[in-house]
Amino acid sequence: MYIEKINSPQDVKALNTEEMKQLAQEMRTVLIKKLSIHGGHFGPNLGMAEAIIALHYVFNSPVDKFVFDVSHQSYCHKILTGRKDAFIFEDKYDDVSGYANPDESEHDFFNIGHTSTSVSLASGLAKARDLNGGKENVIAVIGDGSLSGGEALEGLDYAGEFDGNFIIVVNDNDMSIAENHGGLYKNLKLLRDTNGKAECNLFKAMGLDYVFVKDGNDIEQLISAFESVKDIDHPVVVHICTQKGKGYAPAEKDKENWHWCMPFDIETGRSKFEFDGESYDDITVNYLLDKMKNDKSVAVITSGTPTVAGFTKEKRDIAGKQFIDVGIAEEHAVALASGMAKNGAKPVYGVYSSFIQRTYDQISQDLCINSNPVTIIVFAATVFGMNDVTHLGIYDIAMLSNIPNLVYLAPTCKEEYLAMVEWSMSQRKYPVAIRVPGNGVVSNPNYKPIDFDNLNKYSVTKEGGKVAILGLGTFYQLGESVADEIKKQYGIDATVVNPVYITGTDKDLLAELAKTHDVVITLEDGILNGGFGEKIARFYGKSDVKVFNYGLKKEFLDRYDYNEVLAENHLTKEQICEDIKDFI
Amino acid sequence: MYIEKINSPQDVKALNTEEMKQLAQEMRTVLIKKLSIHGGHFGPNLGMAEAIIALHYVFNSPVDKFVFDVSHQSYCHKILTGRKDAFIFEDKYDDVSGYANPDESEHDFFNIGHTSTSVSLASGLAKARDLNGGKENVIAVIGDGSLSGGEALEGLDYAGEFDGNFIIVVNDNDMSIAENHGGLYKNLKLLRDTNGKAECNLFKAMGLDYVFVKDGNDIEQLISAFESVKDIDHPVVVHICTQKGKGYAPAEKDKENWHWCMPFDIETGRSKFEFDGESYDDITVNYLLDKMKNDKSVAVITSGTPTVAGFTKEKRDIAGKQFIDVGIAEEHAVALASGMAKNGAKPVYGVYSSFIQRTYDQISQDLCINSNPVTIIVFAATVFGMNDVTHLGIYDIAMLSNIPNLVYLAPTCKEEYLAMVEWSMSQRKYPVAIRVPGNGVVSNPNYKPIDFDNLNKYSVTKEGGKVAILGLGTFYQLGESVADEIKKQYGIDATVVNPVYITGTDKDLLAELAKTHDVVITLEDGILNGGFGEKIARFYGKSDVKVFNYGLKKEFLDRYDYNEVLAENHLTKEQICEDIKDFI
C-alpha cells in the first residue's frame, strides 16, 4: 500500500510511474469505501485520481499553487497533502470538509464550493506573484460543467491577456452534473475528436496557448504535458480528457446519478438512503408536467442542476422542449426567463437558494425593472438544508426581498405552495419568487387559498390578544408551537399570523394588531439582517409595541448541527417564551 | 431632409440606398446637436447609424424584435421608430430616455442599461416564439465592450445550442468605454484582419454560424448581410466592423472621452461643463498613485470603467502594471482581487454602486467567506448620483451590508474617507468596502482618525439628550442640520452620531443612548429595506426608545428630481422635526 506512506506531496515525487498507477487505484478504493459510508461527490473525484497525482508529481505545492474549481474534485488532492487519514479511517471521515479549505492545509488557498471561480481566483494569485516578483507556478483546475459559468468565461478572457505564468487545466469529462449544455461543449468535442488539432479552438480564440492530453487518466501522458508547461512564461490551457466515475462500473455507466451520492452498497451500487416520504421536488415536477401538457407556453428552466425541481432524466424526456437546461449559467437563466415571459411564455426557474446569489443583478435589472411574469422557485432556502459554508440557504431573504417589484412568497404548507405556483403562473404582472418550505412537506387540508393579487395582505390564522406571532414560511409551524407554549406557560391566547409575503408589510394589519397586542414576535428561517423581521421592527419603531425578531445571526456557518444553531439563536419555543416573560 | 418624414420603420423601407445614406448623415447631424446641448452617449450612437437603418430596412420591427445591448446605442433606433422629434426639437429632448424603454414604444422590449444582457434577453424572446409557434426574427445587437461580461458569454454559449432563428449582431468598434481588454478581442482583431476568414473563431467555437461585414458603416454591405440571415433557421452571428464616433472628428480621434459627453461646443469639441471643484475621483487617484509608488504590491482594478476612481489615460500610464482593467467583467474583478490579496498584494477595486450589483455571489463566496483583505471603493452610491432607472446608486447598502464578514464603511468627509482607505489597505483581516459620499467633497479639518480595527464602534460627534441622530455617510451633514433645527424649534440639544460602520451595530453605545434619549433618528442615503436603520429599529424593538428610520422607499426611480424624492421620503430637516414633535 502506497497510500499509507503519503504524508505530503514530496512522497508522491519519490514514486515511479507504476507505483503512481497503483496509488491511483488505492485512492479509488478508499474513496469508494468512504463515499459508500459517508456520501459525497463521487464521479468527479474518481475521474481525477491520475491527474492529481501527476500535478503533485510535476509541481511543487504549496509553493506552486493549485486552485480546484468547485473543489468537489479535490478529494485526491486532500489525500496527497497530509489528509489521507480522513479518507482511510472511518472515525476520521469528518476531519475534512467536502471542499478546499485553507484551515485544513497550506495546500488549499480558498474555501470554494460554487462553480466557475477557479480561473479568476487563481489569476489573482498569479497577478500578485508578478507584482511581488515571485516565480511559482499557478495552476487553476476547472471542468465538470463549470466552463459555461459567466465568471469562468470572464476569467478565461482575462487570462488570455495575462502576461505571466498561468496554467489552466481543463478537466473535460464530457459532463456537468447531468449532460453538458451550451455551444462551447461542441468545440470541446471537436477538439477531442481531432486530438486537439482543430483550428477552431475556444481557448485559442480567447487568446490562450493550448496543450491537449488525449487520455487524462494516463499518468505518463499527464506528467509529460504538465512538465511541458511547468514554468511557462504565459497563460496556457491543458485540456485533459478524463472519465467521470472511473473505476466504479455503476458510476461509469450512469454519470449523472453518481455525480454525488448518498451512502450506498458497494456490491450493488444501490443507495442505502430510502426516502419514501413526499418531497417538494416530486410535488413540483408532477404539477409542472401536468401544466406543460395543457399549455405549450409553460417551460421549466434549470441552470445545470436539473433535478432541483424533481426533473430526473425520465421527467425531462417527458417535458421535451419545454424543459431547458442552460448549463451552469444562472445569470443567463434569469434573463432568458425574463425574455420568454415578455414574449408570452410562462417560464419557471427552479434554483437552489445558494446559487440564486449568482444572479442578483439579472433579477434586479433584466427581470424586476421590467416586471416580467417569471416564476422562480427557490429550493433549499433553510437552515435545515445544505450546511457547508459555501452552500448555505439562509441569505436569500436578505438578497431577494429588498429588490423592488419582486413578489417573494413564503408558503407554509403544500396546499399553499401549489396555490402560489398556480397564481404566479396565471398572472402577467409580477416577477414572483416562491420559497419552498425547509421543514419537510406539511399538509394542511384546511388551507383556503387567498387572492394573492391582493399584495401584502397577511393571513391571521388564529385570533388572540397581547402577543402576536408572525411565523414566516418554514417557521410558521414553530410559530404555532410558540403560541401553544405561551398558552401553556402564561395562559395567554396569542394571535398567529402567516405573513405570506416576504416582500411587503401589511400596514393595516400591523396597525390593527397594535391596538390589542403588547408584543409582536417575528420568526424567519434566514439571517435577521436585511430580513423580514427588521421591517416589522421599523414599522413599530414609533409605537409602544415591543418587537422580538427571531432568525439567524449574520455569519458564515460551516457543517453545523441545526439544533445547536437554533438554540444559539434562541429559536426554540421555550427560549422565546422565556424571552418575552417580562413584557406580558 | 428625409429624417422629418420618418414616422415608423415603414418609411425607411421606402428609401433607396442613396437616400438611406443621406438619412444617416441627417441622423448624425441631429444627434451631434442634441448631444452638444443635452449630453449623453455619443460615440456608440454615431457609429451605429447605418447599421440601424439597415436593420429596419431588412427586418420588420416590431414583429421582428431588436434587443440592443446596454441600449446606449439605440438613439438611431428611437429616431426611426416614431421618436424622431425628441432628437430634432430641443423642447422635446427629454421626451425620451437615454435607453430602450417599452413605455415609449412597441419597438422596445426591455428597459436595459447594464451591459452584456441583450443576447440572453433576446434568446428568451426567441425561445418563447418557438414554444408558441411564431415565425418572427429575433435580433440581439451587442458590442462596445459588452462581450466580455459573463452574462453575454453565458448567452452566446446558450445561443450556440439554440435550435431556431436567432440573429446576433456583434458591433465591433474595437472599443469598450476605453480600449478593449480581454483575450477575446485578439480574436476579433484576427477576424477583422482576415475578413472574417480565420479558422479560429470565437463565435464558431461557441457553436454559432458566422457572417462577416467588413464595413459596418456601409449601408449596402449591411443590407446584403442582414438579408442573407433574415428568416434563418438557426443562430448566427453577424460581425460588423463600425467606427465609434463616426462623423464627428474629435470623437473619431479620441474615442474614450467621446463615449459619453456633457454638453459641448460643436465647433471646438470643448466641454461646456467645467468642474473646477475637488472630486473624490481626484482625491482617490492621487492618493492611490502615491501609494503605488512606494509599494509595488498595491494595484487598482476596474471592470471597464477606468475613470471611476479618477484613472484617466494619463494616470493609467503612470500606474503601469499596477492598474488592471479587466474589461466589463465585474465578477472576475472581485475574484481576481480576492486572489491577489490572498497572495500578498493590496488590491483596490473601484466600482459604481449600480454595477457592484453584478457581483453579489463573488463578494460573498470568493471574497467574504475567505476574509481576504480587498478594498472596494463604491462610487455613485447615492440618491444624488445617476438617475436612470438602470443606473441607481441606492441599493448597495441593502445588497452589501447583509453579507457576513464584509466591513462596509460610510465616511462623512474627505479626511475620514482617506483614513478609511489607508486603514483598509494596511490591514490583512477584512474585506472592506467604502461608500464614497454622494454630497460632494466635504472637508472637516478637525476630523480625528479612529482605530477602525475596533469594529462597529460608532463616533458620537455631539453629545446631547432626548434625541439622538445617527447620520450615515452622505446624510451625516443632514443629521447635523436636523440637530440644529431641533435646537431651533424645540430648544433641545440633540446627540449626533457618525455610525462609521454600515455593517455593524454598536450595541454598547445604543444601550447607553437608551438611558438618556427618547427618540433615535436614523438617516441613510439608500433604500430603507434591508438597510442600516432597520438594524437600529431591531435593536430597540424591546425598549421604550422610539426609532424613526429615514431613507428611501424600496422602488425603481427613473429620471427623478432628487429634491422631490427627498421630500417624498420626508428627508428634509423640517419634515423630520415635524415628525418627532409628539414624541419629545
- B362: closest CA of chain A, how far (Å): 8
Q: Is residue B108 part of a domain?
A: yes
**Do B41 and B153 lie in a common domain?**
yes
DSSP calls for B528-573: STTSHHHHHHHHGGGSS-EEEEEEE-SS---S--HHHHHHHTT-SH
The residue in chain B having the minimum alpha-carbon distance to the alpha carbon of residue A347 is B128
Q: Is residue A269 part of a domain?
A: no
The secondary structure of A111-171 as a DSSP string is ---SSS-HHHHHHHHHHHHHHTT----EEEEEETTGGGSHHHHHHHHHHTT--S-EEEEEE
CATH of the domain at B123: 3.40.50.970
pLDDT tops 90 at residue B170: yes
Task: Note whether B34 and B168 are same-domain residues.
Answer: yes
Cell of B369: 467567506
Q: How confident is the model at residue B154 (pLDDT cuts 50, 70, 90)?
A: very high
Q: Chain B residue with minimal CA distance to A519?
A: B542
CA distance B496 to A207: 56
pLDDT value for B136: 98
**Are A157 and B183 in contact (CB < 8 Å)?**
yes
Q: Which residues 545-564 of B have a C-beta within 8 angstroms of A? A: 546-549, 554-556
Across residues B242-265, what is the average pLDDT?
93
Alpha helix locations (H) across A39-117?
Answer: 43-47, 49-58, 75-78, 85-88
How large a percentage of chain B has pLDDT more than 90?
96
pLDDT at A568: 98
Q: Which residues of B395-429 are buried (b: 16+ CB within 10 A; e: fewer)?
A: bbbbbbbbbbbbbbbbbbbbbbbbbbbebbbeeee
Structural domain contains residue A165: yes
Which residue of chain B has the CA closest to A526?
Answer: B402
Asked if residue B188 and residue B288 are part of one domain, the reply reads no
Residue A87 lies in a domain: yes
Q: What is the ipTM of this complex?
A: 0.98
Q: Which of residues 295-324 of B touch A (CB under 8 A)?
A: 296-297, 299, 321-322, 324
Q: Is A329 near chain B, with CB under 8 Å?
A: yes
B244 & B374 share domain:
no
Task: Please tell me the predicted confidence (pLDDT) of residue B180.
Answer: 87
Residue B535: domain span: 459-583
Closest CA in chain A for residue B558: A369
When pLDDT is averaged across residues A544-565 and rounded to a whole number, the result is: 98
Q: Within an 8 Å CB–CB cutoff, is residue A515 touching chain B? A: no
Mean pLDDT, to the nearest integer, of A319-330?
97
Backbone angles phi, psi at A74, to 5 degrees: -110, 15
Residue A179 pLDDT > 90: no
Cell for B245? 464616433
- Are both B468 and B414 inside the same structural domain? no
Q: Are residues B206 and A200, on separate chains, in Cβ contact within 8 Å? A: no
Residue B395: band (very low, low, confident or very high) from pLDDT cuts 50, 70, 90: very high
Specify the pLDDT at position B368: 98
Confidence of residue B539 (pLDDT cuts 50, 70, 90): very high
- A450-459, B156-165, B175-184: range with lowest mean pLDDT: B175-184
Question: How many interface pairs between A and B have CB atoms less than 8 angstroms apart?
Answer: 416
User: CB-based contact (8 Å) between B422 and chain A?
Assistant: no
Lowest mean pLDDT among A174-183, A416-425, A515-524, B199-208: A174-183
User: Per-residue pLDDT averaged across A575-579, rounded?
Assistant: 98
Cβ contacts of B123 on chain A, cutoff 8 Å: 332, 335-336, 339
Residues in chain A with CB shorter than 8 Å from the CB of B399 are 360, 399, 402
Is the predicted pLDDT of residue A304 greater than 90, yes or no?
yes
pLDDT for the residue A275: 76
Tell how strand B517-527 and strand B546-552 pair up.
parallel
Residue B116 above 80 pLDDT? yes
B475 Cα distance to chain centroid? 22
What three-state secondary structure class fits A495? strand
Scanning A345-374 for CB atoms below 8 A from B yields 345, 347, 357-362, 364-366, 368-370
Q: Which of A420, A435, A450 is the last residue of a domain?
A: A435
Percent of chain A having pLDDT more than 90?
96
Cell output for B67: 434587443
Nearest to B537 by CA among A467, A539, A515: A539
pLDDT computed for residue B276 by the predictor: 78
Looking at residue B174, its pLDDT comes to 84
- pLDDT-based confidence at residue A427 (cuts at 50, 70, 90): very high
Cα distances from B560 to residues B38, B112, B384, in angstroms, run 16, 17, 10
Last residue of a domain, one of B227, B261, B295: B261
Q: Which residue has the higher pLDDT, A238 or B584?
A: A238
Res B274 pLDDT > 80: no
Sheet of B166-172, strand order? B65-68, B138-143, B166-172, B235-241, B209-213
Is it the case that residue B396 has pLDDT exceeding 90?
yes
* Helix/strand/coil for B239: strand
Q: Taking residues B130-155, report their average pLDDT.
A: 96
Question: What's the mean pLDDT in B271-276?
Answer: 82
Mean pLDDT on A530-547: 98
The answer to whether the Cβ–Cβ distance between B154 and A149 falls below 8 Å is: yes
Average pLDDT over residues B106-121: 98
Between positions 439 and 498 of B, the ones with CB within 8 A of A are none
Q: Please report which helix (H) or strand (E) contains residue B495, including its range.
A: strand B495-498
CATH code of the domain covering residue A488: 3.40.50.920
A124 vs B338: CA distance, rounded Å: 7
What is the helix (H) or strand (E) element at residue B253, kind and residue range?
helix B249-253
Q: What mean pLDDT comes out for the span A254-277?
A: 90
Q: Which of A295-304, B248-257, B426-435, B467-476 has the lowest mean pLDDT?
A: B248-257
Residues 145-164 of A with CB under 8 A from B: 148-151, 153-161
Q: Indicate if B303 and B416 belong to the same structural domain.
A: yes
Among B134, B321, B366, beta carbon nearest to A121: B366
Residue A264: phi and psi, rounded to 5, are -145, 170
Q: Between β-strands A459-462 and A495-498, what pairing exists: parallel, antiparallel or unpaired?
A: antiparallel
How close B394 comes to chain A (CA, Å)?
11
Residue B72: how many CA atoms within 13 Å on its side-chain side?
Answer: 27
**Is the domain of B357 the same as that of B477?**
no
Residue of A129, A130, A153 to mutate for B, most B C-beta atoms under 10 A: A153
> Given this model, what pLDDT does residue A273 score?
81
| B67 and B186 share one domain | yes
Residue A227's pLDDT is 98
* CB atoms B335 and A112 under 8 Å: no
Residue of chain B whose alpha carbon sits nearest to that of A555: B404
Give residues 40 to 99 of B whose Cβ lies within 8 Å of A: 65, 67
Whether residues A131 and B296 touch (CB distance < 8 A) is answered with yes
Of A125, A402, A542, the CB nearest to B530: A402
Residue whose C-alpha cell reads 451590508 in the numeric block: B401
Cβ pair B158:A183 closer than 8 A: yes
- The Cα–Cα gap between B88 and B73 comes to 17
Taking alpha carbons only, the member of B443, B305, B206, B8 closest to residue A186 is B206
> What is the residue type of B538?
R
Give me the pLDDT at residue A175, please: 81
B199 touches chain A (CB under 8 A): yes
Q: Would B109 be classed as within a structural domain?
A: yes
SS3 A469: strand
- Estimate the crossing angle of helix A532-539 against helix A507-516, to 10 degrees: 60
pLDDT band at A473 (very low <50, low <70, confident <90, very high): very high
The answer to whether position B52 is within a domain reads yes
Question: Residue A309: inside a domain, yes or no?
Answer: yes
Is residue A440 included in any domain, yes or no?
A: no
- Whether A340 sits inside 8 A of B128 (CB atoms) is yes
- A280 pLDDT band (50/70/90 cuts)? very high
What integer pLDDT is reported at residue A253 of this predicted model?
Answer: 92
Chain A environment of B131 (Cβ under 8 Å): 296-297, 299, 321-322, 340, 345
Q: Are residues B289 and B379 in the same domain?
A: yes
C-alpha to C-alpha distance for B333 and A155, rounded to whole angstroms: 9
Spatial separation of the C-alpha atoms in residues B493 and B462, rounded to whole Å: 9
Residues A12 and A129 in one domain: yes
Please, which pLDDT band fits residue B175 given cuts at 50, 70 and 90?
confident
Is A249 in the same domain as A284?
no
Give B285's pLDDT tier (boundaries 50, 70, 90). very high
Average pLDDT over residues B556-574: 98
Q: What is the CA radius of gyration of chain A?
A: 26
Q: What was the pLDDT predicted at B307?
A: 93
Measured in whole angstroms, the distance separating CA A53 from the mean position of its chain's CA atoms is: 28
Chain B closest-CA separation from residue A559 CA (Å): 14
For residue A144, pLDDT beyond 90 = no
Could you tell me if A486 and A576 lie in one domain?
yes
Q: How far is CA B92 from the centre of its chain?
A: 26
Q: Coil, helix or strand for B310?
A: coil
The angle subtended at Cα A493 by Cα A490 and Cα A496, nearest 5°, is 120
Give the contacts of B317 (CB within 8 A, at least 6 positions apart): none
Domains held by chain A: number:
3
- In the predicted structure, residue A267 carries a pLDDT above the cut 80: yes
pLDDT at A482: 98
Query: What pLDDT digit, counting tens, does each position of B24-52 carry?
Result: 999 999 999 999 999 999 999 999 999 99
Last residue of one domain, picked from the residues A261, A290, A317 = A261
Q: Across the interface, do A127 and B339 touch by the CB < 8 Å criterion?
A: yes
CB proximity A389 to B under 8 Å: yes
